[in-house]
Amino acid sequence: MKQFNIQHTDKSMADAIQQKIDHLNKPKGSLGRLEELALQICLIQQTLTPSLNHPCHLLLGGDHGIEREGVSVSPREVTWQQMINFTRGGGGVNMFCRQHGFKLRIVDTGVDYDLSNVEGIIDRKIARGTRNFLHEPAMSQEEFDRAIQTGCDLVDDCIAEGCQELCVGEMGIANTSPSSIWMSLFGNIPLDECIGAGAGLDSPGIQHKCEVLAQSLKHYNETMENTTENAIRYFGGFEMVTAIGAMLRGAEKHLVVMVDGFIMTACAIAAIQLYPAAQDYMIFTHCGDESGHKRMLDIVHAKPILNLGLRLGEGTGALCAYPIIDSAVRMINEINNFDTAHITKYF
């Protein structure tokens, strides 16, 4: 696997940042979470005057072999249909990107459909979907390495345009299944407590999903050494492993990395398992409606900004949280301090 140089953020200027926040003309701590976010972003960028230039959103698409086992209520053709819909501006992700000024990149990392001639889709297809991890690893080592590198390359393209904040979303039918398994493996949580309805399974459907994933995990434990990289490669989708590569590259380059719902939190946890320092650069934006998402966030002691009951994916929860992150940056840059406002400091 590609090696990254990811260091914990340098905390040596934390006191100076906190002093600036405390000296703004407001009661100490009165802007709550905004103050915490401002401190984190200042540490990421190593500055007292942070900025959020050219925010970019990567929308990564891929299909999963495990979908063939009926673990999702949605058929796999929905993946490519939605990818085309995104190019026409008709998805939730499109609306939120327009609203908040994000540049959207729609990327085919492994959709089981020929999208190479569809205008507006970046072709980074590794294969037409992963293999069925009920029987074998979802991807080969070479495919895994390509997916990680694809994520890096996409982030480098964003950085070349001046990006300082990265948001990653996904489109991949059945990708709650690998996410649930990663949650179990990385969080040491019983598998059946990690499995939910996904896009809308009924109770018999959830039971079937539990049985398929339990058998898949059993086969993995019998045939593979349980390492973080093996778990990622055995169960992950191309869009998910590309997201991990993007998150790690974003951390390496000191970007603010916004993490969305259940799927992207699973990817973030996988990235943190590989490089614990990567978490310093992540803002967990939303606790979704998927069963177990809060428990997944608890694995890394993350405190999400929003809890709107969303479970759409696509990065929409993160995009919804962007104005709050923007407010945190505006707070530290634009609110007068007690001296310039000529107000007596009363604490």
- The verdict on whether 229 is a catalytic residue reads no
What is the DSSP code (8-state) at residue 49? S
Which one is catalytic: 67, 165, 252, 314? 314
CA 287 from centroid of its chain's CA atoms: 12
How far apart CA 144 and CA 213 sit, in angstroms, is 21
Structure tokens given for 192: 């059946």
Q: Exposed e or buried b for every residue in 310-322, given b needs 16+ CB within 10 A?
A: bbbbbbbbbbbbb
**Non-local CB neighbours of 193 within 8 Å, separated by 6+ positions:** 184, 292, 295
Residue 64 burial (10 A CB sphere; 0-12, 13-18, 19+): buried
DSSP string, 128-158: SS---TTTS-SS-HHHHHHHHHHHHHHHHHH
**Non-local CB neighbours of 88 within 8 Å, separated by 6+ positions:** none
Structure tokens given for 90: 């008709």
How far apart CA 228 and CA 226 sit, in angstroms, is 7
Q: Which active-site residues does the annotation give?
A: 314
